[in-house]
Structure 1
Amino acid sequence: MIRIKKIYYACLPTRNDRFLWAVVSVVTLAIMAVNALSQLTDAQRRGDELPAYVPWITEATSICFIIILFPILAFIVRRLPLSAETMKKTVLCHIGLSVAFSAVHVAGMVGLRKVIFSVIYGHHYQFFDIIWRDALYEYRKDIVTYLLFITILYLTQALTKRDEALEQVTRQVSHPQKRLSFKSGSDLIWITLAGFSHAKAAGNYVELTADGTTHLIRVTLAALEKQLAGENVPVARTHRSYIVNANHIVAVKPKSDGDANIILKCGTLVPASRRFRANIPSHS
């Protein structure tokens, strides 16, 4: 049971996937009911004696495997992207998979019908007359179902990606990155808080690096540290002359004398003295 649940969530990982499967299941069950009732009506019009249970069993066994196979198709579609670069490979894969889809569908429904008719009604069920002809007949019907399902899945996938992209843009517009301004000589510069990498004391000035650019600003290192901390930047003092953004730390390389070197995302090497090693997040 646990293994089936794992397979279920692997095939339908998101709520949207599971909702789509539910919709497809309801629609196919409705089609099943219409087809079964139509067969009974047609038999009455022709004057044929058709037991009422027969069309319901034949339609239900077919739809049962269609519903089971849909999550597997959803799993496959996620792993066969449809783009200009992958089009040829994806199409060839789907041609082969459509044959497998039809084979599993037909084998499953025929096997289930044989069991039901034999066990419950006590008579033999014969499906195939000329195997290759009947298999081709079923494949013609199944390829339509297969194409319909993968079209729905690819369209849903594309719409989901579009919605996620729009949501990300909306989020960025609604919550723009917060910035701080500083005087750099006669210029007024702006930096994003997330872009702040590190700063180095330079006399009465500080060399501040943010978003890949270094600025010389007139402020003490202690004052800058306090200002950044007040804006919830995870700033850490690693040396009496250096502060860094903890979110930009890539690695800490200890030295034999107890000091260390910090590697930042921008590739800069920043010293960390023993006195301030506890300020480094991975060493606190």
Structure 2
Amino acid sequence: MTAHNTPLDPQRRAERRAGLQAGLIFAAFASASVVVNALSINSELARGAAVFNPAQAWLLELTSLVVLLALVPAVIALDRRIPLALGWRVALPLHLIAALAFTTAHVWGMMLLRELLWPAVIGGSYTYFDLLVRDFIYEARKDFLTYATLVLVIRLARRIEDYRLELAEGHARAKGEALIVLKCGGRELRLPAAEIISAEAAGNYVEVSTPTGSHLARITLGGLETLLKEAGADPVRVHRSCLVARPAVREIIPGDSGDAVAVLSSGARIPVSRRYRSGLSGG
């Protein structure tokens, strides 16, 4: 197999998807901004007495948009080389330098486009800055915000793709190795599915009980239940926010109002709501 036909690894595919999604999101918002700005400019000019050419506002906005979109791949590639692991003391100055380069490329790029297109679309010649420093600062204020917004969109898209990649890897481990991979703070915990006795939702986390202790993992209760089933385990809900491994249930003690208490192999006593009791008893 040649190098050109070698498939990309999952991480690189996720990176490409994140870049594409970030570019599309940015392009959608930037295009909407162009339409709003051009319509607003023409609306304001229409209220005055002077004669104006509506195409002028569209040309100004569209040339800016074209250059911005052309710079998106460069920003995506650059941001990949300034990871969060560098820390803000290192990353912030690098991003400030990158934002200045972004502004410079945007300003001169749109100016050159306008110089080329202005005679054909508007007529006459396009005038560059009247006051170079003042006008560049005016553009830089907007471009620094645009750069920061683009970087935030890129980072968000990468986080989403990383999360999807983690989910896919977790499902693959559960199906192929009967392992449940859990994120516990900065640790990655790999538990055989058969070792998980019970789990209880705790806000955005789940407290997972095993014979060797409890672990607070970043996962939903429903997500953990799915992984356990894929791993061949037999989890069963005993409460809206709690599940147990059916083989770990040693005794079911009925209550007075249709609810019950499940006594597990660990000795833990787990309340069983009336709604879920039939599922526990009917295994």
**Aligned-residue offset at 1:81:** 0.5
The CA distance in 2 between the partners of 1:158 and 1:38, in whole Å, is 35
The CA distance in 2 between the partners of 1:38 and 1:17, in whole Å, is 31
Q: Which segment drifts farther, 123-132 or 94-103?
A: 123-132
Aligned 1:202-221 pairs, distance under 5 A: none
Give 1:93's aligned residue: 94
Give 2:5's aligned residue: none
Q: Which amino acid aligns with 1:58?
A: L
2:135 aligned with 1:134: yes
Q: 8 Å contact 2:76–2:154 — kept in the other structure?
A: yes
Q: CA-to-partner distance for each residue in 1:102-147, whole Å, 9 max, x for gaps?
A: 0000001011111111345441211311111111110001011000
SS of equivalent to 1:107: helix
**Aligned-residue offset at 1:20:** 3.1
Aligned 1:45-194 pairs, distance under 5 A: 45-83=47-85, 85-176=86-177
SS of equivalent to 1:80: coil
RMSD: 2.4
Q: Which segment drifts farther, 164-173 or 67-76?
A: 164-173
The CA distance in 2 between the partners of 1:121 and 1:40, in whole Å, is 15
Q: Which amino acid aligns with 2:108?
A: A
**Aligned-residue offset at 1:171:** 2.0
**Aligned-residue offset at 1:82:** 1.1
Q: CA-to-partner distance for each residue in 1:135-164, whole Å, 9 max, x for gaps?
A: 111000101100000011112112222221
The CA distance in 1 between the partners of 2:42 and 2:120, in whole Å, is 23
Q: 1:120 to 1:159 in 2, by over 3 A?
A: closer
**Aligned-residue offset at 1:167:** 2.2
The CA distance in 2 between the partners of 1:112 and 1:15, in whole Å, is 30
**Aligned-residue offset at 1:176:** 1.9
Q: 1:19 to 1:152 in 2, by over 3 A?
A: closer
The CA distance in 2 between the partners of 1:81 and 1:115, in whole Å, is 38
The CA distance in 2 between the partners of 1:27 and 1:150, in whole Å, is 14
SS of equivalent to 2:126: coil
The CA distance in 2 between the partners of 1:155 and 1:142, in whole Å, is 20
Q: 1:142 to 1:28 in 2, by over 3 A?
A: same
**Aligned-residue offset at 1:13:** 6.3
2:17 aligned with 1:21: no
Higher alpha-carbon Rg: 1
Q: Which amino acid aligns with 2:116?
A: V
Q: Which amino acid aligns with 1:97?
A: A
Q: CA-to-partner distance for each residue in 1:245-277, whole Å, 9 max, x for gaps?
A: xxxxxxxxxxxxxxxxxxxxxxxxxxxxxxxxx
The CA distance in 1 between the partners of 2:176 and 2:88, in whole Å, is 38
Q: 8 Å contact 2:37–2:61 — kept in the other structure?
A: yes
Q: 8 Å contact 2:55–2:122 — kept in the other structure?
A: no
Q: CA-to-partner distance for each residue in 1:48-77, whole Å, 9 max, x for gaps?
A: 322011001000000111111111111111
Q: In structure 1, list runs of 5 or more residues that go unmatched.
A: 1-9, 179-191, 193-284
SS of equivalent to 2:83: coil
The CA distance in 2 between the partners of 1:90 and 1:58, in whole Å, is 33
Q: In structure 2, list runs of 5 or more residues that go unmatched.
A: 1-11, 180-191, 193-283
Identity over aligned residues, as a percent?
25
The CA distance in 2 between the partners of 1:122 and 1:166, in whole Å, is 57
Q: Which amino acid aligns with 2:90?
A: K
Q: Which amino acid aligns with 1:26?
A: A
How many matched pairs?
Answer: 168
Q: Which amino acid aligns with 2:23?
A: W
